[in-house]
Amino acid sequence: MPSSLQKRAFIILLLFFLGLGLYVVYPFLMILILSCVVAAVFYPLHNKFLQWTRNRKNLSASISVVSFIFFLIIPVAIILSLVAAQLTSLIQTLTQSLSQNSAYELIEKFQNFSEPILVNIEKFLGFKIELSTITSRVLQWLAQFLATYSPEVFFKTTSFLFNFFIMLIVLFYLFRDGKDFLERLIRLSPIQDNYERHLIQETKKTIYGVIYGNFLTGLLQAILATIGFYIIGLEGALVWGFVTFFMSFIPLIGTSGVLVPVIISQLVQANYWQAAFITIYGAVIIGSIDNLLRPILIKTNIHQAWLFLSLFGGLAVFGAIGLILGPVIMAIITALIHIYETNFLEEEAS
């Protein structure tokens, strides 16, 4: 048996090299986290492949990686390229319209449409609202914002392809050896196994809830909204559908944050049947999806307020991956609090 001094020396040596190893993989830390999330989401499908291939791990892991590329990456890449093309066209149209009379005519129509409402608001507030000036400035700011953050800014092709290649390699090994690695990690950890398994289950439940609940519900709403925008002939329908997807994550506002401005713009342009169609279509079809699917698909113990904050807080801190990482961190905190309440507090009380 090693002495206590040898044990301490070994732990110090182990911690030193663990820190060194973490420093080595730090540039790929976000890729590793994203790969773990993707592996967790696709693992039920991977288990099916394991059964079909009679437990051939290499073959089933390869099929899982290929399925990830074909079912997720390729469709997303096609959609993003189409959105980028429409966004570029929309920016050009908006920029040109700002220098033409048509933009000012639209502003004038909007001002005439909203005049009765503004009169009552002005009486209540006690001062006049310069709607024409405000609207013009907002449109100019929007054009400058969209031009600044045009698709070319976001795509660094070489870096993206390299990181994507690393992710595919990591995914292969996670599919093949991830379960064994997780069991070994549980065995080596000094924390009780039942606590660790509770943390893992809560994290998995949150990942499934965020992906299948928020993302799938938002995606379906965005698809339906895009179809509706195409029906009424709205320019940049894919772009507004893309914005609808992100607006679906915001409580209380949701997809109405896009639908209401679209309805108002159609009314201003005297497109009455288009405005009526989007109003009915949005309330009956798009709105019902949120009310029906989201409560069924979201199965997590995180309060909705914390889930909302973790989504957009994670986005602000970690970037796009924060949409997953934020809720996962909040799920771990929730699980730790639950473990503390049900185990440690009860022991202290007794």
99: Cα within 13 Å, side-chain hemisphere: 6
- Do 102 and 208 belong together in one domain? no
Shared domain check, 240 and 112: no
Q: What DSSP line would sit under 151-207, residue for residue?
A: HHHH--HHHHHHHHHHHHHHHHHHHHHHHHHHHHHHHHSSS-HHHHHHHHHHHHHHH
Question: Would 4 be classed as within a structural domain?
Answer: no
> Do both 214 and 346 map to the same domain?
yes
Residue 38 and residue 68 in contact, taking contact as beta carbons nearer than 8 Å: yes
Residues 127 and 275 in one domain: no
User: Three-state DSSP class for 310?
Assistant: helix
Shared-domain flag, residues 168 and 236:
no
5-13: which pairs have CB atoms within 8 A and are 24 or more residues apart? none
Is 283 within the bounds of a domain? yes
Does residue 118 contact residue 131 with C-beta atoms inside 8 Å? Answer: yes
Question: Does the residue 5 lie in any domain?
Answer: no
pLDDT in tens, the chain (350 residues): 566 777 788 888 888 888 898 888 888 888 888 888 888 888 888 989 988 988 888 999 999 999 988 888 888 778 877 777 777 777 766 666 555 555 555 555 555 655 666 566 556 555 565 555 555 555 555 555 545 544 444 445 556 677 888 889 999 999 999 888 888 888 877 777 777 787 777 777 777 777 777 778 888 888 899 999 999 988 888 888 888 888 887 767 778 888 888 888 888 888 888 889 999 988 888 888 777 776 666 666 666 677 778 877 887 777 767 777 787 787 778 777 777 777 776 555 55
In the prediction, which pLDDT does 197 show?
Answer: 81
153 assigned to some structural domain: no
Is the domain of 126 the same as that of 197? no
13 lies in some domain? no
pLDDT at residue 152, as a whole number: 47
* Residues 109 and 214 grouped into a single domain: no
Predicted pLDDT of residue 65: 92
Closest to 191 in 3D by CA, of 326, 335, 6: 335
Look at residue 200 and tell me if it is in a domain: yes
**Do residues 171 and 68 make contact, with C-beta atoms less than 8 angstroms apart?**
yes
Residue 150: predicted pLDDT: 47
Do 173 and 228 share a domain, yes or no? no
Contact between 293 and 220 under an 8 Å Cβ cutoff? The reply is yes
How many domains, the chain? 2
What are the pLDDT digits (tens) for 46-66? 989 988 988 888 999 999 999
pLDDT tens sequence across 225-268 = 999 999 998 888 888 888 888 888 776 777 888 888 888 888 88
Show the CA angle centred on residue 19, arms to residues 200 and 329, nearest 5°.
Answer: 30
Query: Is 108 inside any structural domain?
Result: yes
Virtual torsion, Cα 252, 114, 139, 254, nearest 10 deg = 10
pLDDT of residue 172: 93
Helix (H, G, I), strand (E, B), or coil: what is residue 319? coil
Q: Taking Cα atoms as reference points, which of 224, 77, 57 lies closest to residue 160? A: 77
Q: Give the largest CA-CA distance in the chain.
A: 88
Segments in the chain forming alpha helices (H): 4-25, 29-52, 57-68, 74-98, 101-125, 131-148, 151-154, 157-188, 193-208, 216-231, 237-247, 256-268, 272-281, 287-297, 304-318, 322-339, 345-349
pLDDT at 154: 45
pLDDT of residue 289: 78
Q: In terms of domains, do 134 and 226 share one?
A: no
Is 171 found in the same domain as 292?
no
pTM, full prediction: 0.66
Does some domain include residue 318? yes
Same domain, yes or no: 279 and 132: no
- Residue 219 structural domain: 192-350
- Residues 136 and 81 placed together within one structural domain of the fold: yes
Confidence (pLDDT) at 169:
92
Residue 303 is predicted with a pLDDT of 67
